[in-house]
A = this chain, B = another copy of it.
Amino acid sequence: MVVELISVGTELLLGNIVNTNTQFLAEQCALLGLSMYHQVTVGDNRERLSEAVRTALGRSDVVILTGGLGPTEDDLTKEVCAEVMGFALKEDSHTKKRIEEYLKNSVFKVIPDNNWKQAMVPEGAIVLDNDNGTAPGLILEKNQKAAVLLPGPPGELYPLFKKQVFPYLKKRQPEILRSQMVKICGVGESQVEDKLLDLIDKQTNPTIATYAKTGEVHLRVTARARSEEEAKKLVKPVVKEIKSRFGDNVYSVREEETLEMAVVKLLQKHELTVTTAESCTGGLLAGRLVNVPGASEVFREGFITYSNKAKRKYLDVNKSTLKKYGAVSSETAREMAIGGVFAADCDVCVAVTGIAGPDGGTEEKPVGLVYIATYMKEKVTVKKFQFKGNRAKVREQAVVRALDLLRRSILEQYR
């Protein structure tokens, strides 16, 4: 079964807002095992919307439209779909009553005349009551195809979809789809693909899709089958094979687990506390750790030591080290990590010092040069990186690599 999304709204074409509805709907459809090949955005224009609906109904089984169900003259989605699919519009007394009640309870005491437009419903359509607004959702079925019309505001769309559209689509979908993520850090996208070329080449079911993130590569292994069990059986050996090929580079096989979550989990598992000593990342590393709910169990304090003076004051970095090797050096990173553990009285410290640019680079120490160090159980590990990109990109990569070095240092200790 193929689903297509049509977002309706001139504000999307003007770039006034980010289209988050599409991501939500796409994820929900993937979860249902539905195939999606097209997502389309058009403005509040009768002709172009008609064409988009006609094209979508021609190539897809279900078309989900969002937006354009409001009370104004601009709002055309219902009218256009009814016309294209051959439905007549008729006032729906149930919907009229709901609109009346909704607006009576709202801040707007007077019901504007144009709101009654929203009580007009294609004759024979399934009406989906909207608890959070005046526009009901609508399902129009014809010739085995369906158009699902939903309001644009996320606060109306999400609950309407989850409560009423999700079960409707599930009933229409006979096939089962199951996917699992393998998340890799420390290997480039093309290197990952190189290592999996044979698997990717022969893939049919399950399939392997790669997603490049900053400093990470995510692999999604997806199988289709007639039962949950069968799909699981198809996915499992492929995930196992990938894991064996990438070893410690795999930090998680769970969809919702981020790198910082994996790190916090590892710290919790070994009952370790961590601190951060940051120069060029200036707090972003700690900020990522604190993304994880419950991070307070393993993280209590962090140091942002942007100046040399601060590095000495809080982390006890030697004046002579800074003078001899400079703030961006293996030696300084090392002393920052050691100093952090003692200053914060914790088990591990991860330290970052580098040149994020655009200024401050030299031939010997160019922009993008970053040293990352960890210290735990009397063992120091220092890595040198040369990142590419602008200031934001260098810092973002440094954060990912710092989290990853922290993860690897812990794995190393408890092997």
Interface segment among A18-26, A224-232, A239-247, A263-271: the answer is A18-26
Whole-angstrom distance from the CB of A373 to the nearest CB of chain B?
A: 16
Q: Complex formed: what's the CA distance from A27 to B131 in Å? A: 32
A39 in complex: contacting residue of B25, B40, B193, CB < 8 Å: B40
Give the residues in chain B near A13, CB-CB below 8 Å. 26, 30, 36-37, 39
Q: Is A66 engaged at the interface, CB distance under 8 Å to the other chain?
A: no
Nearest B residue (CB) for A72? B193
Stretch with Cβ within 8 A of B (4 or more), from A81-89, A119-127, A164-172, A303-311: A303-311
Expressed in whole angstroms, the minimum distance between the Cβ of A288 and any Cβ of chain B is 8
Name the B residues within 8 Å of A306 (CB-CB): 290, 295-296, 299-302
Nearest-CB distance from A389 to chain B (Å)? 4
State the interface size on chain A (CB cutoff 8 A): 116
Q: Please tell me if A58 contacts chain B, counting CB pairs below 8 Å.
A: no
- The answer to whether the Cβ of A236 comes within 8 Å of any Cβ in the partner chain is no
In angstroms, how far is the closest chain B Cβ from the Cβ of A155? 5
| A391 contacts across to B, CB distance below 8 A | 291, 293
Q: With A28-B15, A278-B283, A291-B392 given, is the CB distance from A107 to B42 under 8 Å?
A: no
Q: Determine whether the beta carbon of B18 is less than 8 Å from that of A18.
A: yes
**Closest residue of chain B to A311, judged by CB?**
B301
Could you tell me the distance between the alpha carbons of A233 and B290 in the complex, rounded to whole angstroms? Answer: 48
Does A191 make an interface contact (CB < 8 A)? Answer: yes
Chain B residues whose C-beta falls within 8 Å of the C-beta of A15 in the assembled complex:
22-30, 211
Let me know if A71 and B132 touch, CB within 8 A.
no
Q: Which residue of B lies closest to A30 (CB)?
A: B14
- Cβ of A50 within 8 Å of any chain B Cβ, yes or no, is no
Complex Cα–Cα for A39 and B27 (A): 19
Known: A14-B209, A299-B306. A37 touches B26 (CB 8 A): no
Contacts of A37 in B (CB 8 A): 13, 42-43, 45, 48
Q: Across the interface, do B300 and A301 meet the contact criterion of CB distance under 8 Å? A: no
Contact A108 B191 (CB under 8 A): yes
Question: Is A107 within 8 A of B301, CB to CB?
Answer: no
Shortest Cβ distance from A201 into B: residue: B73
Chain A interface, >50% SS class: mixed
Q: Judging by beta carbons under 8 Å apart, are B302 and A301 in contact?
A: no
Q: Which residues from chain B contact A190 at a C-beta distance below 8 Å? A: 70-72, 112, 114-115
Q: Which residue of B lies closest to A23 (CB)?
A: B18
Known: A155-B389, A278-B283, A291-B391. 15 other contacts (CB 8 A): A14-B209, A15-B28, A18-B18, A37-B42, A37-B43, A74-B209, A105-B368, A106-B188, A107-B188, A290-B395, A293-B358, A293-B359, A294-B359, A301-B304, A301-B310
**Which residues of A are interface residues toward B (Cβ below 8 A)?**
7, 10-20, 22-30, 36-43, 45, 48, 52, 70-74, 102, 105-108, 110, 112-115, 131-133, 153, 155, 159, 187-191, 193-194, 200, 209-212, 214, 218, 220, 276, 278, 280-287, 289-291, 293-296, 299-307, 309-310, 313-314, 344, 356-359, 368, 385-393, 395-396, 401
Nearest 8 CB-CB pairings of A with B: A282-B290, A15-B27, A15-B26, A283-B283, A283-B286, A302-B304, A301-B310, A300-B307
20 A-B contacts, Cβ less than 8 Å apart? A12-B26, A14-B30, A16-B209, A18-B18, A18-B23, A19-B19, A70-B190, A70-B212, A113-B194, A115-B190, A131-B389, A153-B214, A155-B390, A280-B290, A283-B290, A284-B284, A291-B395, A296-B307, A300-B309, A302-B304
